Structure 1
Amino acid sequence: MIQEAGKRMQVVIHAGAHHTDEDRLINCLSANREMLARHGTNVPDPQRYRRLVRDVLHQAQDTGLAPNARDILVDAISNEGAVDRLVLSNPGFFGTPKMAVSGGVFYGAAEHRLNMFRQLFPDDHLELFIGVVNPATFLPPLLKETEFGTVEALLRGHEATHLRWSELITRIRTHHPDIPVTVWSNEDTPLIWSQVVRELAGIDPTVGFDGEFSLIEEIMTPAGRERFRGYLASHPGLTEVQKRRVVAAFLDKFADEAAIEEELDAPGWTDAHVAMLTELYDEDMYAVQRIQGVQVIAP
């Protein structure tokens, strides 16, 4: 790892949420590691740092950090080459699945965990990225990773209808107003995939990367994929806006409904309850967009 003396490094914290992109984002960045390194962006293998960062953060909480903890960590996990921007991704940065909705809020330990990151990277520039998701599709898979038998037990007596991502983002902005926050709806990810990847990586819209349309193609029919690839090949040089229009048009016609449809396995939930959670989530996203200092990536 090479870094200019006295220069602040950009440290990107991609904190999930759980069960959003399922590591697709960090895997895409990792597949472009060599290209990104030429742009000064370091994308270490998550297996090299997830447990290590967790242990270091616990140490920061329990006994404090050694003065050189930051340099030791960066040297241990970084790839060779200059580092201007370090990308760290873990849906568990703000807590385990069991902790994700304790207290009736999303990630109640988030601002405290960011305090720990500030201790670890005291002189660097932190940026937070988080994809949020409809509670109706967030809570059932989250439940399966805990010892609880029902969503109600997971929520410890709180109501799912009271959960708000805007509350989490407001809490983070209140405690850490100098940390830029970028948010997007997981449901929009197929349409905004390339922008999310580029924002995380810190590269310009003109920089191409492998896997730019990988998520789109996952949810297209085979025939749609072939026609989509053919269209892109015959229309080089599309702008980002044009690409989004093309993606939207092809998904409208060739979406694989089986790949898109999510199975909701929450005993006791009715269609009306799911519809209510979805409506509240849509309203919540409008509230997120109005929070000062937050960039919302949307189609």
Structure 2
Amino acid sequence: MQIVYHLGVHFTDEERLLKCLLKNKGALANEGTAVPGPSRYRKLLRQTLFGLRGGPATRDQQQEILEAALEGEYAERIIFSAPNLLGNPGAMLRDGALYERAGERVASLCSIFPDAQNEFFIGLRNPATLLPVVPGSVEAPADFMQVLSTTDPRGLRWSDMVARIRGENPDVPLTIWCNEDTPLIWPQVLRELAAHDPLLALEGTNDFLASIMSREGMERMLVYMSTHPPATEVQRRRIVAAFLDKFAIPDEIEVELDLPGWDDALVDELTELYDEDVYQIEKMAGVNFIAP
């Protein structure tokens, strides 16, 4: 059995991946892939995760999760999507690092189904746009701001988090991508997450683009693709990029950067550091990086 965990990170695809996969639940089930609704497993997974205390889950615990998620159906591959399994968003800067316990959490998740093939999928986001959205989305914004005030954002590295995951879980398949690239690589992310037949056309593959592009832009892009079908994935991405450049909805792609002491110069610096950090991740052994 293959157990797939999509772990966010927080404030990346905003559940769009899960919603798209749920739209195709029946088609994917025919291929042996289960996409259970999140209410069936998120709380149960967290309860099991924190109850393990370093040991593997019992057969009864595993069976309880499978029964809740599958409702008696059989599946060879099960997709669980739950960003909070990495930790609460307000604690993403614990000890001055991004998801400091990520390696430990991934190891514990592998212990829930120790005999299964566990796979992990994580989308990253530029700290320059990620950190400003956290205070308005957590229960204790003052606590987060206190931690942020003592943390130099220039020192935050996603590659450190990935290294912690790889260090504690060297044999676990890990797929990484950048949230900023998601509009271009969306079909590939879905395909690798679900491991579906390449000939299976998933419903809702344009939903993400429709959420950040004007209706006129979407209509014109779809007409263009129908009359000029892209011969390769690279050509499709170039077309999407061209229409996004002209028809993207500003409010959907821009973030209000309202943090004390932050200015455009810092944002530019953080973005440059993020680009360099991503380049390092692309070269890391054991990482399947989805690039545009």
- Normalised by the size of structure 2, how large is the TM-score? 0.93
Contact 2:54 2:108 in 1 (8 A): no
Distance 1:158 1:258, change over 3 A: closer
RMSD (Å), alpha carbons = 1.9
The Cα of 1:62 is off from its aligned counterpart by 8.0
Quick one: percent identity of the two aligned structures? Answer: 44
Deviation at 1:236, TM superposition (A): 5.3
Note the alpha carbon deviations across 1:108-154, whole angstroms, 9 max, x for none.
Answer: 12122122212210100011100000111111222221424386513
CA distance in 2: counterparts of 1:267 and 1:157, whole angstroms: 12
C-alpha distance in structure 2 between counterparts of 1:65 and 1:207, whole Å: 35
- Matches of 1:141 and 1:289, distance apart in 2: 26
Determine whether 1:53 maps to 2:42. Answer: no
Once the 2 structures are TM-superposed, how far is the Cα of residue 195 of structure 1 from its aligned partner?
A: 0.6
Equivalent residue in structure 1 for 2:92, among 94, 100, 113: 100
- State the distance in 1 between where 2:244 and 2:71 align: 37
Match of 1:15 among 3, 7, 13: 7
Aligned pair 1:157/2:134, yes or no?
no
Q: What per-residue deviation string (whole Å, max 9, x for no partner) do you get for residues 58-117 of structure 1?
A: 111288643321122111111554311110011111100122111111111212212221
* 1:113 aligns to 2:89 (yes or no): no
Q: How many residues align?
A: 291
Report if the CA contact (8 A) 1:99-1:108 is conserved. no
Determine which of 239, 245, 251 is the counterpart of 1:246.
Answer: 239
The SS at the match of 1:241 is helix
Runs of 4+ in 1 over 6 A off after TM superposition: none
CA change 1:114–1:125 in 2 (3 A) is: same
Matches of 1:90 and 1:125 in 2, distance apart? 18
Which structure 2 segments of 5+ residues have no match?
none
Deviations 1:219-246 (A, max 9, x none): 2222211111222333557543332222
Q: Please tell me whether residue 74 in structure 1 is matched to residue 91 in structure 2.
A: no
Of 193, 196, 212, the match for 1:200: 193
1:63–1:22 distance in 2 versus 1, CA, 3 Å: same
The structure-2 alpha-carbon separation of the partners of 1:65 and 1:81, relative to structure 1 and needing over 3 Å to count, comes to closer
Kept in 2, the 8 Å contact 1:135–1:277? The answer is yes
Does 2:214 correspond to 1:221? yes
2:58 and 2:29 mapped to 1: Cα distance? 28
Q: Which of 268, 274, 287 is the aligned partner of 1:281?
A: 274
Q: Residue 230 of structure 2 contacts residue 236 of structure 2 at CA under 8 Å; is this kept in 1?
A: no
What does the per-residue CA deviation read over 1:192-217, in whole Å, with 9 as the maximum and x for residues that have no partner? 11111111111143321011121112
Residue 270 of structure 2 corresponds to residue 270 of structure 1 = no
Instruction: Identify unmatched segments of 5+ residues in structure 1.
Output: 1-8
CA distance in 2, matches of 1:288, 1:142: 24
Paired letter, 2:244 = L
Range with greater deviation from structure 2 (224-233 or 24-33): 224-233
TM-score, normalised relative to structure 1: 0.91
Q: Post-superposition shift, 1:248?
A: 1.7
